[in-house]
Amino acid sequence: MNSYPWDEWADVVVVGFGAAGACAAIEAAEAGASVTVVDRFDGGGATALSGGVVYAGGGTAQQRAAGVVDTRRRCSRT
């Protein structure tokens, strides 16, 4: 896991920019809050990759590009 220095401030920090995270960020901003959004991908959250139907994991190209080590086997373990 990577660690990054952080010295920013926001009223609301949204972790994940899938459909739910995007809605939360928009609602908070429209209510007047300062909002910071963080996500593991640079192209939007898992909903953008999965269409909201399945977990976007198991060694996707986006995961590999971001340095995330995942496999189909690890993704399907319960």
pLDDT of residue 64: 83
State the pTM of this model.
0.53
Alpha-carbon span 75 to 39, nearest angstrom = 19
Structure tokens at 38: 């963080």
Alpha-carbon span 4 to 17, nearest angstrom = 19
Q: For residue 53, give the DSSP letter.
A: T
What is the chain's pLDDT, residue by residue, as a tens digit (78 residues)? 788 888 989 999 999 888 788 889 999 999 999 999 988 766 666 665 555 555 566 777 777 888 888 877 776 655
Alpha-carbon span 3 to 5, nearest angstrom = 7
